[in-house]
Amino acid sequence: MNKKKLLIALAGNANVGKSVIFNHLTGLHQHIGNWPGKTVERAEGTLHFKGYTIDIIDLPGIYSLSTYSLEELVSRKYIAVERPDIVINVVDASVLERNLFFTLQLMELETPMVIALNQMDMAKSKGIQIDVKKLEKLLGIPIMPTVAVKGVGIAKLLEKAIETVEKKPAKRHPQVTYGEEVEGKIGKLMEKMKNVHFVYPPRYVAIKLLEGDEEIEREIRRIDPQIVAAAKKLAAEIESIHGHDCSTVITSERYEAAGCIVRAAQKLVSPIKPTRGERLHNFTTHKVTGYLTLVVAMLLIFYSIFTFGDYTSGLLSDVLYGLEPFFAGAFGTGIVGALIWGGVMEGLIAGITIVLPYIIPFYLILYFLENSGYLSRIAFLMDNIMHRMGLHGKTFIPIMLGFGCNVPACLGCRIMETQRERLLAAFVVTLVPCAAVTVIILGLVGDFLGIHWALALYIVDLLIIFALGRLAFKVVPGEPTALIMEMHDYRWPHMKTILKQTWFMVADFIKVAFPLIILGSFILKLADVTGVLEIAASVFSPITVVWLGLPAVTGITLVFGVLRKELALVMLAALLAPTGLAILTPLQMVVFTLVAMFYIPCIATIAALWRDFGWKKALFITVFEIAFAILVGGIAFRLLTLVT
């Protein structure tokens, strides 16, 4: 092994500036992906410093190292199993107590660490003064004060980290000393585990067993079930002494320890008048001005994403379709030419013109909202309404964006905390009528039957979304969602970080989704030129003609709608020439639109689902929605026939 290699992990609460520090350190040498098999984001980067090749991993932002969320589990395992040479614990100086609560848990993992005491400027503006030397002494961990958004202290932080690694610190940090009863039980458990070798340090295991940590219990039970039984007994004893369960007692005492340190090292110099951030907070969460701001902000976001998207999309489309004659010249207009142009190139063009112009501005705005702190205020204001669907306030953002394009909306579901919430939100999002579906609604029903019919369809759609959302919430196992969220102080985000986050997310999306989009497009075209599609249409005819009462050609157009939904309408108009769409009865128009609204997320959306949730769930959602659309269309056909 080359000893000039280092592995550094960044750990800390959410929104403390971890990713800003990560971006300062790693520049453009990063890779963002997911943890194997999880929807938890994993950011890695490499840098060279003082002759070292340093790999940096940015662990997810978390508040604790229990098993509340996947993020916590992933982080804890990473530190225990991968054993980074050093952990940089990023701490928000303006919310010191909560942050130290996490620091104390990291210390219990007995990993070498340094602390980046970040947001010193924010602490100062809140009238908080921290005695760094004293804090360092109390914790027994080297500390570097930083202001990450301004790049202050970053180089020194890295130097300090390397220095600490080179010094090979004594293995043990001083740790939290719990109350007498708890310490006694920890001692007893450690005694019992003398001969047990496990990835986590023995004291940590003892504490976690007393806390009833299920993952650790499971692992230890495999080694020696008696230890777990003993731990349960000891925990029950603590419970009877304190009247709270053991986990609560331990957490309280840990917080108490954090509080003690804070009281010793931190001084509140005159709580100065409300800061600008605080006034902004009050304004944006106020029952009147808050909602007004929200409406204005949403309209602005929606408008800017779609004006930009529409304009760029048109521009790109013109340029790319201008290439068609060259392709026709090079490959001819026969089957090969059709496959190359109509299959591969049109798939690529669909990807470039639909996806990129919308997801790039979307990511920029999403990261801006998240990093500045506004996202949490939106969640605060919208929680109640979303809650009725079993989702919490943050879901509002992806759902709103879904009206524009389902793709970024699905990807935006990652802002939810748990896997379950993400899946539920993504499911609801794929039912939201996107811009292309709106084209169908307005272009068919709106044009021929009048705007009130179009509106009625919209309302029906929203009601169905609401009902399905509730249903999914009931069916998918897991605990009910509830909002427990920190609203950190507003701050102006670090633009370079936002740009980089956007860049890496988009790059990752291209890598995963584009092959799928192109492949899907190619297969469709292949089916078309080989005549399979015609056969498919006749196979579908029991569904389209008998069950839905639509012309047989709609089968083909709906298949093409998978590529991009508005194609379903455009092709239908072409296939019904010379009369065009007018030949459809009003009833057929309504049924066709209903089916188009629900029947399948488009191929780019499926790719997005695949990327974030795996192919099984993507397939399930797709199949479910096809079945559901056919069901709804058929029912509507029969009901409306009765009425008219």
Partner 1 sequence: MEKRNSKSREVPLTALKAGESGIVKYVRFGHMRHGHMRHGHGRAWGFEKRLMDMGLTPGTRVTVVKSAPFLGPFEILVRGSRLALGRGIAQRIFVEVEQE
312 binds partner 1, rule: CB under 8 A: no
Q: In terms of CB distance, is 297 or 320 closer to partner 1? A: 297
User: Tokens in use for 551?
Assistant: 């012309």
Q: Of these, 19, 26, 30, 66, which contacts partner 1 (CB under 8 A)? A: 66
Q: Which candidate, 443, 619, 393, 435, places its Cα nearest to that of 516?
A: 619
Stretch of 143-151, 386-394, 581-589, 599-607 lying at the interface with partner 1 (CB under 8 A): 386-394
Choose between 393 and 634: whose C-beta lies nearer to partner 1: 393
Widest CA span of the chain, in angstroms?
A: 88
Rounded Cα gap, residues 23 and 34, in angstroms:
18
Closest CB 137 distance from partner 1, rounded Å: 22
Q: Is 376 in the site for partner 1 (CB under 8 A)?
A: yes
Q: Return the residue matching tokens 């000039």.
A: 4
Binding flag, residue 265, partner 1 (CB under 8 A): no
88 to 117: interface string for partner 1, x by CB under 8 A: ------xxxxx--x----------------
Q: Residue 246 Cβ, how far from partner 1 at the closest point, in Å?
A: 10
CB of 41 to partner 1, least distance (A): 20
Scanning 126-224, the segments in alpha helix (DSSP H) are 132-139, 154-167, 180-192, 202-211, 214-223
CA distance 478 to 420: 7
Q: How far is the CB of 94 from partner 1 (least distance, A)?
A: 8
Total length of the chain: 644
Q: Which of residues 218-257 bind partner 1 (CB under 8 A)?
A: 244-245, 247-248, 251-252, 255
How would you classify the pairing of strands 5-12 and 86-92?
A: parallel
Span 387-406, contacts to partner 1 by CB under 8 A:
387, 392-393
> What sections of 55-153 are H helices per DSSP?
70-77, 96-108, 120-125, 132-139
Q: Which is nearer to partner 1, 76 or 611 (CB)?
A: 76
Binding mask 319-358 for partner 1 (x = CB under 8 A): ----------------------------------------
125 binds partner 1 (CB under 8 A): no
Tell how far CA 229 is from the center of its chain. 38
- Give the one residue of 33, 214, 289, 303 binding partner 1; rule: CB under 8 A: 214
**Which parts of 279-308 interact with partner 1 (CB under 8 A)?**
281, 285, 287
CB 373 within 8 A of CB 490: yes
**Angle formed by the axes of helices 603-643 and 419-431, nearest 10°:** 50
Q: How far apart are CA 593 and CA 599, in angstroms?
A: 10
CB of 631 to partner 1, least distance (A): 30
Answer yes or no: are the C-beta atoms of 586 and 458 closer than 8 Å.
no
User: What is the C-alpha radius of gyration for the chain, rounded to an integer number of angstroms?
Assistant: 29
Stretch that binds partner 1, among 364-372, 385-393, 535-543, 545-553 (CB under 8 A): 385-393
d(CA 261, CA 99): 12
Give the closest residue to 491 by CA, choosing from 271, 278, 268. 278
Residue (151 or 277) nearer to partner 1, CB:
277
Kindly report the backbone phi and psi dihedral angles of residue 269, in degrees, each rounded to the nearest multiple of 5, phi listed first: -85, 115
Beta-carbon contacts of residue 579 (< 8 Å; ≥ 6 apart): none
d(CA 106, CA 30): 25
Q: What is the per-residue binding string for partner 1 in 471-500, x denoting contact by CB under 8 A?
A: ------xxxx-xxxxxxxx-----------
- CB of 533 vs partner 1, minimal distance in Å: 43
Helices 96-108 & 132-139, crossing angle to 10 degrees?
30
Beta carbon nearer to partner 1, 101 or 453: 101
Query: Considering only residues 381, 432, 457, 602, which one is a binding residue for partner 1 as defined by CB under 8 A?
Result: 381
383 is a site residue for partner 1 (CB under 8 A):
yes
Interacting residues toward partner 1 by CB under 8 A: 63-64, 66-68, 94-98, 101, 212, 214-215, 244-245, 247-248, 251-252, 255, 259, 281, 285, 287, 376, 379-381, 383-385, 387, 392-393, 477-480, 482-489
